[in-house]
Amino acid sequence: MTADIFSSAATSQRPGPSTGAPDAALPPRVALVGAHGYGARHLDNLARLAALNLVELVSVADPRPPVKDTLPDGVATFPSLEELLAAGPAPEVVILATPIQTHAPLALAALAAGADVYVEKPPMASLAQFDTVLAAAQHAGRLVQVGFQSLGSHALPALDRFVASGEIGEVRGVSAVGTWVRTKGYFKRSRWAGKRSLDGTDVVDGVATNALAHAVATGLRIAGAALAADVVSVETDLYRANATESDDTSVIRVRTAGGTVLLCALTLCADEQTAPSVTVHGTLGRAEFFYTEDRLAVTTPDGERTEVFGRADLLENLLVARRPPGPEHGLLSPLAGNGAFMKVLEAIRTAEPPRAIGAGHVTWEGEGDDAHPVVAGIRQLVRRAAAAQATFAELGVPWARDLPRELPDDLPAAGAAAAGAQAPFTVNGKVVARPADGSRIAPTSSPRPYLHPVSTLAGTVVTDHLPEDHVWHLGAGVAIQDVGGVNFWGGRTYTRDSGAYVWRKDHGRIVTLAVEHEGSWRTEFLGWLAPDGSALLNERRTWSWAAIDACTWRLTLDFELTPSGPDPVKLGSPGSNGRPQGGYGGFFWRLPAVGGAAVWTASADGEDAVHGTAPSPAAPWLAWSGTFRSGESDGGPATLVFLSGTGAGQPRDPWFVRAAGYPGVGLSLAWEQAATASHASPLHRTVTVLVADGLLSTGDIEQLITTLGESK
């Protein structure tokens, strides 16, 4: 999974024969540029290495002289690297612990003087600078180590072994999460802090490029991306709660040449700081690396285990790499091996400036320079983004930017042509539902069209999508887990042979081929595609909506499934494949969290009593009421009334109800037996949902149904 570029890149930067090998009898002469801030840690480390006779600190460059008695006797001090080098003789190793925007010019100067370089992260402020410095290092035959200390962790090769062993199954993706706290004082520590540029010079400070850059770099290492060429694409979703130029709350999604997706969800605006981590998600388990603690937690079907590892010091690693080549020699974080990180930084540098998070979504804790912002619900949002491989915008976070309307280039041209038909549903002049094409949904969640958000006339949101517990649950729509062996539901597939849910590469997708939208109805013509792109089903899906009274509106879904080929297609479920009480598939509505939830029919009350029961002419409806909560909003009281089989001559499919584990309602096409769609007999279903403000009683519901003219 990981690349061998780290050793090969080091070899490409190793001094050639013309430079000669360093004299192993003498410790290398080292200069430190930047003695304050993180430079103080380098001074401590240099003192440790000097005591082992591994280095000799000969000079320090800093416009602010180090505090008296900080340096060993005999160490020369200079206000700049230029003056240090001019004084001669040139040091053999130069450490750069300086502002980001100075890394490239200082590295070039050190390389020109014949020194190897240790540069703090991020290595450079642009991809062009990176290319220039890398070329200079290769031309000079010098080494450049980048200070991503987490790459020295012995947990990384252990993680490689875990993944290669198959203990966690096949890799489904990699995520990096970080929820940190940074105060106003943090952004006042220097002129460049929180800046994208300074006096016309790129800085590119930010949560992903500096504060939590280790999460990104470590995630790339684990995802097998080292060189810039290893990164196919980078998507950025950048925000800020602080009064800065740079981002402090962001999602970065990277697609690698090897096919792995790395999703980084990072913030400096949490309510409390937690240990950041990078997780490899497998089909059988996961491995989570807490890189600041060198701790690896592995979860498999056999249980969980945790191990803490040691770490190689990167400066010491550089000193070893300067010796004659050997199988154990090589930089752990060579400049060439940071090309993938620099491609991420470049995407952030050239992206639109971070969007400010509205004050209504941010609270401030602490006083003065110790004050720090807390974005409402950000820790849950970070986890949810990582689980769904989604950006904050794709999650529909209220402070996030609107998604562009165009579809990705890899979808069918006809689908792209239909992208303009994204008009919301309105009732009495109020937007009550928005169609989503689903094209940005992760492949393992079976991308498909759906409605979200759906809300009451008073604005209470009554759908959820991409929830942390089941990221493949998508608002209101149609989903089926087994269509001729293809999963159009998302997540794991229940199979009769295994008697369990398993991850398989069987996820289909539903694409929009055409849309007709006029007034209070919308018809979508959809194609159900197998993983190889072959068509299995054609669907005609019609939504219609209308007001019932000042507090209630009606949403009707009518859909028909016809095979794309000449043969009938079986439509199954976990229930038809042997899982008791698991016959979900067909119409499904995922609700947000509901306080004081009540679910009932005309003849039964509670989840256990109504789940799996079939509606009847005398009791055609199921109701769900309570106080709906959506994200950081408390929402309000609302009632949903689901009416099954409202189309003439249609069967009344059993209710699928979940309340205790998660809130969801569906109508099951294949409760215990698979259904069939054929050209002679297309599968046709109609369901109506009444969306009402307030908590309705059974009498209220019966009166509404009478108003609709529905038979009991």
d(CA 209, CA 204): 7
Nearest of 447, 432, 469 to residue 640 by alpha carbon: 432
Residue 13 has pLDDT above 80, yes or no: no
A 10 A CB-CB count for 362 gives: 18
Same domain, residue pair 342 and 478 = no
For position 7, what pLDDT does the model report? 33
Do residues 380 and 347 both lie within one domain? yes
**Inside any domain, residue 403:** no
For residue 28, the 8-state DSSP code is P
Query: Residue 188: is it exposed, middle or buried by C-beta count within 10 angstroms (0-12/13-18/19+)?
Result: exposed
Give the single-character DSSP code of 210: I
Q: Grade residue 650 by pLDDT with cuts at 50, 70 and 90.
A: confident
Structurally, the chain folds into a number of domains equal to 3
Prior bond of 453 cis (ω within 30°): yes
DSSP assignment letter at 141: T
Q: Which amino acid is at 610?
A: V
Task: Assess whether the previous peptide bond of 89 is cis (omega < 30° from 0).
Answer: yes
**Residue at 107 is within a domain:** yes
**CATH number of the domain residue 136 falls in:** 3.40.50.720
Q: Which of 150, 175, 207 is the last residue of a domain?
A: 150
Residues 167 and 109 in one domain: no
**Model confidence band, residue 209 (pLDDT cutoffs 50, 70, 90):** very high
Q: Is the pLDDT reported for residue 404 higher than 80?
A: no
Q: Where are the alpha helices (DSSP H) in 589-685?
A: 607-610
In a domain, 236, yes or no: yes
pLDDT value at residue 443: 96
Range(s) of the domain holding residue 370: 151-388
226 neighbors 9 (Cβ within 8 angstroms): yes
Average pLDDT of the chain, as a whole number: 92
Specify whether 106 is located in the same domain as 226. Answer: no
CA–CA–CA angle 258, 263, 265 (5° rounding) = 160
Q: What percent of the chain has pLDDT over 90?
A: 87
Same domain flag for 267 and 360: yes
Answer whether residue 614 shows pLDDT above 80.
yes
Classify residue 509: in a domain, yes or no. Answer: no
558 and 698 inside one domain: yes
What does the block give as tokens for 623?
Answer: 């109701």
Q: What is the pLDDT of residue 411?
A: 41
Q: What is the pLDDT of residues 499-518, one digit of tens each?
A: 999 999 999 999 999 999 99
Predicted local confidence at residue 22, as pLDDT: 52
- What is the DSSP code string of 646-666? -STT---PPEEEE-SSS-EEE
Task: State whether 56 and 143 are in the same domain.
Answer: yes
User: Is the separation of the CB atoms in 318 and 143 below 8 Å?
Assistant: yes
539, with CB counted inside 10 A (0-12, 13-18, 19+), is: buried
Whether 207 and 298 share a structural domain: yes
Distance separating alpha carbons of residues 145 and 418, to the nearest angstrom: 50
Is residue 417 predicted with pLDDT exceeding 50? Answer: no
What is the per-residue pLDDT for 508?
98
Q: What is the CATH number of the domain that holds 341?
A: 3.30.360.10
SS3 251: strand
**Which one of 97, 118, 150 terminates a domain?**
150
Helix 339-350 and helix 213-222, axial crossing angle in degrees, nearest 10: 130
**Helical residues (DSSP H) of 413-501, grouped into ranges:** 413-417
Residue 67: inside a domain: yes
Which of 98, 115, 150 terminates a domain? The answer is 150
Do 561 and 452 share a domain, yes or no?
A: yes
The answer to whether residues 180 and 267 touch, using CB atoms and an 8 Å cutoff, is yes
Q: For residues 687 and 587, is the Cβ–Cβ distance under 8 A?
A: yes
In a domain, 255, yes or no: yes
Burial label, 17 (beta-carbon count in 10 A; 0-12, 13-18, 19+): exposed
The CA-CA-CA angle for residues 579, 581, 586, to 5°, reads 90
pLDDT of residue 678: 97
Compute the C-alpha angle 503/409/489, nearest 5°: 25
Distance CA 593, CA 515 (A): 32
- The mean per-residue pLDDT over the stretch 537-551 comes to 97
Cα 91 off chain centre by: 44
Burial of 75 (0-12, 13-18, 19+ CB in 10 A): middle
pLDDT, tens digit, 9 for 90 and up, residues 660-674: 999 999 999 999 999
For residue 497, being part of any structural domain is answered with yes
User: Residue 3's pLDDT band (boundaries 50, 70, 90)?
Assistant: very low
pLDDT at residue 434 greater than cutoff 80? yes
Strand partners, 593: 629
Q: Name the percent of the chain lying above pLDDT 70.
A: 92
Longest dimension (CA), the chain: 97
Using pLDDT thresholds of 50, 70 and 90, give the confidence band for residue 491.
Answer: very high
Co-location of 292 and 428 in the same domain: no
Evaluate the CA torsion angle 112, 115, 116, 119 in order and state its sign.
negative
In-domain check, residue 325: yes
Residues 142 and 157 in one domain: no
Express each pLDDT in 336-383 by its tens digit. 999 999 999 999 999 999 999 999 999 999 999 999 999 999 999 999
pLDDT digits (tens, 9 = 90+) for 313-339: 999 999 999 987 644 558 999 999 999
Angle at the Cα of 438 from the Cα atoms of 433 and 440, rounded to 5 degrees: 125
Interatomic CA distance for residues 483 and 617, integer angstroms: 29
Distance CA 631, CA 54 (A): 55
Q: Which of 52-66, 401-415, 554-568, 661-675 has the lowest mean pLDDT?
A: 401-415
Distance between CA 284 and CA 300 in Å, rounded?
A: 6
Does the pLDDT of residue 185 top 60, yes or no? yes
pLDDT, one tens digit per residue, over 260-280 is 999 999 999 999 999 999 999
Residue in 376, 400, 402, 396 with CA at minimum distance from that of residue 239: 400
Q: What is the pLDDT of residue 617?
A: 82
> Under 8 Å CB-to-CB from 623, ≥6 apart: which residues?
598, 599, 600, 601, 639, 640, 641, 642, 696, 698, 701
pLDDT at 468 over 50: yes
418 confidence band (pLDDT: 50, 70, 90): very low
Are residue 301 and residue 220 in the same domain, yes or no? yes
pLDDT for the residue 403: 81
Please confirm whether the linkage preceding 435 is cis (ω < 30° from 0).
no
CA dihedral 292, 298, 299, 301 (to 10 degrees): 180
The pLDDT-based confidence of 408 (bands split at 50, 70, 90) is very low
Rounded Cα–Cα distance for residues 670 and 483 (Å): 11
Tell me how far apart the alpha carbons of residues 434 and 465 are, in angstroms, rounded to a whole number: 12
Contact 230, 338 (CB under 8 A): no
Residue 207: strand, helix, or coil: helix
CA distance 116 to 144: 6
pLDDT higher than 80, residue 409: no
Cα–Cα distance for residue pair 209/148, rounded to 1 Å? 12
